Amino acid sequence: MKTATLEVQNTNLTSALGRLAADFAELVKARLTLLVLLTTAAGFYLGAEPPIDYVALFHVVFGTAAAAAGAAALNQWWERKLDALMHRTRTRPVPAGRMRPAEALTLGVALSILGVGYLTMACNALSAALAALTIVIYIFGYTPLKRASTANTFVGAIPGAIPPMIGWAAARGTLEAGAWSLFAILLLWQLPHFFAIAWMYREDYSRAGFRMISSDDHSGERSASQSVFFCILLLVIAGLPAFVGIVTFAYLAIELVLGGLFIAVAMRFLKMRTAGAARLLFITSIVYLPLLLVALVLTKS
């Protein structure tokens, strides 16, 4: 009898710990944070002189991970009441009541301080300053702007484009043209990515009072045409790393193929303007970026 009781207790404990871990992962937007780490690592690798210092790479990735997780937690704390109004976010730990707002705030602040502080001590002041800037823009710029202006998407893309610069700064201590080319690529990539999401969930965003370019865009023409425009612009800008000398010109062939496919999917969204076409653009954007990063790493000059 006691053995059965202990088994039940152990099962309940395991379930509770699993739920806690899942809530933490959702609070810090683990999948988004993973993408941030990939771009940070790529920035470090492309900026570093051989041989690569993998201990330094770990330091910048760890510090950036903590900072990104902190920003995500603070964002969810700030928007907890609005998240409760949206179908796609109402099950998050804070609006669902599984985590108290004070807990999310404490975790967000602690992780943000940890990330910036760790980068200061383990890397350098420039990488730490960039991480702090990322948090400030994301929380005090992008978050409140979502209910004020459709410009929020562009502003929100800025902190999303800074991580490769953090990696570069950790490797070199300065920001050269190569770092800025990576920033431009990440900035432009995010726009069709978010336009697709915003149109798919336009009713949800409207319910929360968020002002997106998809607001009142029932036909999808505005969202799709903007996606095509920025995909074309990305095709051009994504070639910059070859021209500033951080990768060989072999990279251009890969970049042109990936960019061309991205444009084709965006044009399909413009032609069809269906939820399925928007979702395909969203999925394509997720596939495009890691492949481009791999191409950059493999063709480093």
Encoded tokens for 3: 């053995």
Residue 52's alpha-carbon distances to 19, 110, 183, 190, in angstroms, are 38, 30, 21, 29
Q: What mean pLDDT value characterizes the chain?
A: 91
Q: Which amino acid is at 250?
A: A
pLDDT at 289: 96
Query: 256-290 pLDDT, tens per residue?
Result: 999 999 999 999 999 999 999 999 999 999 999 99
At position 205, the amino acid (one-letter code) is Y
Model confidence at 72, pLDDT cuts 50, 70, 90, reads: very high
Dihedral of alpha carbons 24, 27, 32, 36, sign: negative
pLDDT surpasses 70 at 14: no
Going by pLDDT thresholds of 50, 70 and 90, the confidence category of residue 216 is confident
Q: What is the pLDDT of residue 5?
A: 57
State percent of the chain over pLDDT 70: 95
- Tens-digit pLDDT profile for residues 222-268: 999 999 999 999 999 999 999 999 999 999 999 999 999 999 999 99
Indicate the pTM of the whole model.
0.91
Task: Determine the pLDDT at residue 15.
Answer: 63
Instruction: Kindly tell me if the per-residue pLDDT of 7 is higher than 60.
Output: no
**pLDDT average, residue stretch 74-94:** 90
> Could you read off the pLDDT of 99-115 as tens digits, one per residue?
899 999 999 999 999 99
Mean pLDDT value of segment 171-198: 95
Is the pLDDT score of 67 beyond 90? yes
Q: What is the pLDDT of residue 213?
A: 85
C-alpha–C-alpha distance, residues 14 and 52, integer Å: 40
pLDDT at 12: 57
Q: Give the lowest-confidence range in 62-66, 207-211, 246-250.
A: 207-211
State the Cα–Cα distance between residues 6 and 221, nearest whole angstrom.
Answer: 60
